Every structure is written in C-alpha cells, then in structure tokens.
C-alpha cells in the first residue's frame, strides 16, 4: 500500500518505509529527526519543472503531463520499484504545502499502476 504525507507531519510507525521524493531537502527538518529510509531525489521533478510549476494550481495539468514525460525518459521510477515492492507499506514524503497538487500525488498514481 502506498501513502503520501507531508514531511512536516509527525512520524508514525504505520508509515512503513518512508521515501522523500523531493529534490531539495525540506526547510526546518533535521535529517536525524526525519525518519527517512530513502531519499529518492532522482524521481523528483527537475529543477526547471519545479520552478516553472511553482505550485500554482492553474499549471497543475501541464505539470502532471511534463512530470510524467520526465519520468518516462528516465529510469528513476524503474529503479525505485524494487525497493517499494520489498515493503508492505510505503509512504511518499513531500514538502509542498498543497496536499492535492504535488509530485507525490503523481508518483503514487504511477507506482500504483505498476505494482
């Protein structure tokens, strides 16, 4: 089962295997307190795409399209799948404030379709 969660929310053992899916380390979070099992920078949107999107909801559909295209051109998702398959519960962690419009939402959809 794959979940998504803001990294700023409290750690819970029920999160299972925790994967940070941001390219940049989230502000204000100490690495020793993050309870991260894997930092998968490679599956995060490119800096160019992240800056273009800037978490502006009107750009969401185009962001999804561009992000999926980036992932399709990369082997990052295929590299991540074996790690995910080893765990019953996986939580994708992200730093964005918007819980509905962020890369973890897209990743969850793509990963669920491949499992």
Residue boundaries of the structural domains of the chain: 2-114
Predicted confidence at residue 104, as pLDDT, reads: 96
Predicted confidence at residue 55, as pLDDT, reads: 82
CA distances from 11 to 28, 29, 105, 111 (A): 15, 12, 19, 22
* DSSP label of 21: -
pLDDT single digits (tens) 1-52 = 999 999 999 999 999 999 999 999 999 999 888 999 999 999 999 999 989 9
Nearest residue to 108 (alpha-carbon basis) of 74, 71, 56, 54 = 71
pLDDT single digits (tens) 55-86 = 889 999 999 999 999 999 999 998 999 989 99
Predicted confidence at residue 114, as pLDDT, reads: 83
Predicted confidence at residue 54, as pLDDT, reads: 87
């Amino acid at each position: 089962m794959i979940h998504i969660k803001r990294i700023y929310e409290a750690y819970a053992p029920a999160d299972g295997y925790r994967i940070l899916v941001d390219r940049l380390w989230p502000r204000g979070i100490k690495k020793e307190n993050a309870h991260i099992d894997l930092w998968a920078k490679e599956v995060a949107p490119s800096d160019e795409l992240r800056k273009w999107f800037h978490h502006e909801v009107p750009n969401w559909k185009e962001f999804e399209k561009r992000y999926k295209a980036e992932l399709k051109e990369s082997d990052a998702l295929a590299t991540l799948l074996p790690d995910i398959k080893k765990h019953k519960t996986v939580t994708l962690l992200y730093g964005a404030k918007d819980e509905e419009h962020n890369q973890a939402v897209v990743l969850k959809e793509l990963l669920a379709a491949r499992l």
